[in-house]
Amino acid sequence: MKERQVAAMAAEAIDASEQTHILIVDDDPSLRTLVRAFLTQEGYVVAEAEDATALRRLLDRQRVDILILDVMMPGEDGLSIARSLAGKQDIGIIMVSALGTEGDRITGLEMGADDYLPKPVSPRELLARVRALQRRRRSAAETRLASMTHYHFEGWRLDPVRRVLRDPAGIIISLSEGEFALLLAFIEHPQKILTRDHLVELARGVDADVFDRAIDTQVSRLRRKLGTRAGGDLIQTVRSEGYIFQAAVRRG
């Protein structure tokens, strides 16, 4: 029973995250347009890139959860891209190619792809593969979250699975869903200035628009609950930039 409760809480924490962001990398603009329109209708946030250069520009400025990657492109090909991303970024890769032999599929998977589809691509099959990859990634994320150790800072302790925050005296401090998401964003990026937009991106929950409008109020409430430390508040305002979580954070 306890294991089921932990798993349920882990799933709830992951469900609080935002929509899945997909990036289509293909030098065929008509295919990109078709796939983007189809996946957008299914509720995904979809972007496009025509080559490796455009891909890396997008990766530098926005989050990507799943990459739909063509193999045969001018310049750097999809195999080289997949190999360069393997182990460096938490991105699921679905490779698509006119090269559809067993050897081609094996090579793609060995280069770091999570799945491999031959062209021409059926949008419905691609959607099914995207959803299957989402399930696998969700299961892996739940496992990581369930085994995550506590966060410690300034005598405080946060259990991210059970969403329990204890102050230095061991007293449980009640947090709303928004306050918990905000605190988790801060302690996962300690001693770094976070803009309001970045905080919304990191901590957005069931209703991102409401959270966006109430970000300053949420910070103020969380700051009051955390109290003060030597030298000032744990969460300090950086004029014209955003907020910074001052404490050092460790896991254990």
CA–CA separation, 83 vs 109, rounded Å? 10
Model pLDDT, residue 121: 87
**205: Cβ contacts below 8 Å, ≥ 6 apart:** 16, 177, 178, 181, 211
Positions in the chain whose pLDDT score sits under 50: 1-17, 206-210
Model pLDDT, residue 7: 43
Q: Domain coordinates of the chain in residue numbers?
A: 2-145, 151-251
Residue with tokens 């796939």: 35
**DSSP H or E segment with residue 46:** strand 45-49
150-206 pLDDT, tens digit each: 899 999 999 887 788 999 999 999 888 778 888 999 999 999 999 888 887 777 654
Token duo for residue 194:
């976070």
Fold of 151-251: Arc Repressor Mutant, subunit A (1.10.10)
Residue with tokens 């990859």: 133
Token duo for residue 100:
């559809």
Whether the CB-CB separation of 39 and 121 falls below 8 Å is answered with no
Closest CA to 27 of 96, 80, 94: 96
Model pLDDT, residue 68: 96
**133: Cβ contacts below 8 Å, ≥ 6 apart:** 66, 92, 94, 114, 115
Model pLDDT, residue 148: 61
Specify the CATH number of the domain 2-145.
Answer: 3.40.50.2300
Model pLDDT, residue 162: 79
**DSSP H or E segment with residue 205:** none
C-alpha atoms less than 13 angstroms from C-alpha of 28 in its C-beta half-sphere = 16
β pairing state of 92-97 and 66-70: parallel
> Nearest-5° angle of CA 47, CA 14, CA 173?
130
CA–CA separation, 181 vs 82, rounded Å? 32
CA–CA separation, 127 vs 152, rounded Å? 41
**Terminal Cα distance for the chain, rounded:** 25
45, 66, 71, 217 from 37: Cα distances, Å: 10, 16, 21, 37
Model pLDDT, residue 88: 63
Whether the CB-CB separation of 152 and 166 falls below 8 Å is answered with no
